[in-house]
Amino acid sequence: MRLSHRIQNITGGGSDGWDLFNRARAMIAQGQKITELTIGEHDIGTHPDILEAMHRAATGGHTGYAAVPGTPELRRIVADRVARRTGVATGPENVLITPGGQSALFAAHHAVLDEADTGLIIDPFYATYPGTIRSLGARPHPVPTVAENGFRPTADALAAAAAETGARSLLINTPNNPTGAVYDRATLQAIAGVCAEQDLWLISDEVYDTQVWAGAHLSPRALPGMAERTLVVGSMSKSHAMTGSRCGWVVGPAEVIERLVDLSTNTTYGVPGYIQDASAFALRQGEEMERQIAAPFRRRRQIVLDALAGQGAVGALPAQGAMYTMLDIRATGMTGESFAEALLDAEAIAVMPGESFGRSAAGHLRIAMTVADEALADAMARLCRFAALQAARR
């Protein structure tokens, strides 16, 4: 029996970027103590008040089928939140609730790409981006960036890639995973200009919009002429430490959302009602809860910068947002992959090689600032010593 080409081609015939993470988890399962700086998972659990709201909703009977587009309450709350933060008129008809941000990414691309179409992604990219597009039978096309420009895309590179490939869409992520970059207004205006000139749909992954350490988050949907060609992906996972609850959304033109309801009816059939009720409760708590959940990563960003001060083997793009920092280890002469493998063996510290996120991040590492402050400071000190030793051996 033959499997479909589409299902066999999700990883493009190569690694899906998670090799070192899987190796570290296997070592942990064997009883080894590993400091994990790999995955973007909060080191705190979901807030007890949110869990209590979830419990009340479940025991109160909201365990059957929920409305496929999302409960009216949650759609309204998400719409109000988006309108307040962006200044763009947004109603429940502009919101589809999905099982997490990943499902929202899949749905958004399903709305704008046909088989064999090309979707542009910015390199470095989150590891699932290429596979999400391949899952539709479409083709991902990375647009390279450079560390010296903060891994921000340029209008010239985007326009050239769109013209060369005949692309239909562009996926961006700000604040960015893996780089920690926050796109400024000039960058977003350049992106918007290319989308208009090349007639591209823009898919904007904004799941880290509550984690901004420098600058300000600007949704490209708020730029002139962009609301009708932009689909925004959001999620409760990062803003409210609800990664396992799987609740996200797509925000876009009402006619697109209406079609995506058809997709949800034939794929996920919605999100459990008690999860949606807990999400509505969490969002009603306002920005104070979001600040509390983001606070450890703001603090740990400085821990990383302090650890890097006064040494020359490891550089960094200071994170402007999100829960990650990108480290530059090119002074060691090693690839990100070889350095990460050696670091895991020598120091029992697991980090993600930059190459997991595309060619533009070669010679870099991504660290997730998702362990306790003391553990992070210790891991950074040992990582820097290890890098200095490798650099001295060149």
pLDDT of residue 177: 97
19: confidence class by pLDDT, cuts 50, 70, 90: confident
Average pLDDT over residues 102-131: 97
Q: Is the dihedral of CA 261, 265, 271, 274 positive or negative?
A: positive
pLDDT of residue 384: 98
Q: Is the backbone peptide bond immediately before 175 cis, with ω within 30 degrees of 0?
A: yes
Does 63 have pLDDT greater than 80? yes
Q: What is the mean pLDDT of the chain?
A: 96
Average pLDDT over residues 328-353: 96
Q: Which residues contact 186 (CB under 8 A, 6 or more apart)?
A: none
Is the domain covering 62-285 a CATH 3.40.640.10 domain?
Answer: yes
Residues 358-386: tens digit of each pLDDT = 999 999 999 999 999 999 999 999 999 99
CA angle 132, 179, 238 (to 5 degrees): 65
pLDDT of residue 11: 86
**C-alpha 54: how far from its chain's center?**
25
**C-alpha 377: how far from its chain's center?**
24
Does 272 have pLDDT greater than 70? yes
Residues 305-333: tens digit of each pLDDT = 999 998 999 999 889 999 999 999 999 99
Does 136 have pLDDT greater than 90? yes
Q: Output the six-digit token pair for 387.
A: 């890098």
Q: How do 230-235 and 201-205 pair as beta strands?
A: parallel
Q: Which residues contact 272 (CB under 8 A, 6 or more apart)?
A: 62, 63, 66
pLDDT of residue 14: 67
pLDDT of residue 62: 98
pLDDT of residue 18: 80
Percentage of the residues of the chain whose pLDDT score is greater than 90: 94
Q: Output the six-digit token pair for 280.
A: 């509505």
Q: Which residues contact 35 (CB under 8 A, 6 or more apart)?
A: 348, 349, 350, 371, 375, 378, 379
Map out the domains of the chain as residue ranges: 5-45+288-392, 62-285
Average pLDDT over residues 139-146: 98
pLDDT of residue 394: 78
pLDDT of residue 102: 97
| Domain 5-45+288-392, CATH | 3.90.1150.10
Percentage of the residues of the chain whose pLDDT score is greater than 70: 99
Amino acid identity, position 168: R
Question: Burial letters for 371-394: b for 16+ Cβ neighbours within 10 Å, e otherwise?
Answer: beeeebbebbebbbebbbebbeee
How distant, in Å, are the alpha carbons of 8, 288, 307, 319, 326 from that of 210?
36, 11, 25, 14, 19
Are domains 5-45+288-392 and 62-285 of this chain identical in fold? no
Residues 198-237: tens digit of each pLDDT = 999 999 999 999 999 999 999 999 999 999 999 999 999 9
> Distance between CA 180 and CA 115 in Å, rounded?
32
pTM here is 0.96
* Residue 220 near residue 230, CB atoms below 8 Å: yes
pLDDT of residue 16: 63
Does 15 have pLDDT greater than 80? no
181: confidence class by pLDDT, cuts 50, 70, 90: very high
